[in-house]
Amino acid sequence: MSRPRYLFVTFSLLALSACSQVQITIPYTPQTTKEIKGRVAVSDFGYYPKGGLKENEIHDTAAGQIFLTDPVGKFIADAVRREFRQAGLSLKSGGCSLEGEVNDFTLDELGYSADYITDIRYILNGANKHVLLDNTYHVKFHASKFVQPAVVMANLNKAVADNIAQLLDDPAFVTAVESKCR
């Protein structure tokens, strides 16, 4: 193959691959060391991203896009379930139920560092559907921008885990679960 033709084919393939949509699976690892007794069934969360994002897309201010293999609301709800199991909570129905809304899940890469942001609303309902807790928690932290993809995924994991940790650390949540979600 001649050199000009080889370069044309190479650049064409690069251009096509730049347009492809890559979906990633973030291997979520629970972080809690809390111990809570109770029973809370967790529904998949709603996801209300900033305009134009797909249900499986994390908001990224850089030129790229981050797509999860699952919808963001399901990913967050699964993370909550893992954290609850780690804390000792039963996920069986019959006690309380938890619903949620993911209002923001952003990787802000404008500037010299990256900001990881989560804003999640948690609604804990008692067995009679009475609202026991309705709180929103916000997490934002700075990290290095130019890192390997594994570090970005670990930071996305941390942004979610830190948000759920705020729920598990909330005395109102712990009291409600331990007294009304049996």
pLDDT at position 179 is: 96
pLDDT at position 54 is: 94
CA–CA gap between residue 147 and residue 128 (Å, rounded): 48
Burial bucket for residue 23 (CB in 10 Å: 0-12, 13-18, 19+): exposed
- Residue 18: band (very low, low, confident or very high) from pLDDT cuts 50, 70, 90: very low
Are 48 and 76 in contact by the 8 Å Cβ rule? The answer is no
Q: What is the pLDDT of residues 36-72, one digit of tens each?
A: 999 999 999 999 987 889 999 999 998 788 999 999 9
pLDDT at position 71 is: 97
pLDDT at position 41 is: 97
Task: Report the CATH fold assignment for 23-180.
Answer: Rossmann fold (3.40.50)
**What are the C-alpha distances in Å from 66 to residues 30, 164, 167?**
21, 21, 26
pLDDT at position 1 is: 56
Which carries the bigger pLDDT value, residue 114 or residue 16? 114
Q: Is the pTM of this model over 0.75?
A: yes
Residue 80 CB-half CA count within 13 A: 29
In this prediction, residues 143-150 reach a mean pLDDT of: 90
- 96: β partners: 40
pLDDT score of 16 more than 80: no
Weakest-pLDDT range from 13-27, 36-50, 98-112: 13-27
What angle (nearest 5°) sits at the alpha carbon of residue 148, between those of residues 146 and 149? 110
**What are the C-alpha distances in Å from 182 to residues 24, 68, 178?**
37, 34, 7
Phi, psi (deg, nearest 5) at residue 71: -60, 145
Q: What is the pLDDT of residues 70-95, one digit of tens each?
A: 999 999 999 999 999 999 999 998 88
**What are the C-alpha distances in Å from 95 to residues 129, 130, 140?**
10, 12, 32
| Element at 153 (helix H, strand E) | helix 149-169
Q: Where are the domains of the chain?
A: 23-180
What is the rounded average pLDDT for all residues in the chain? 88
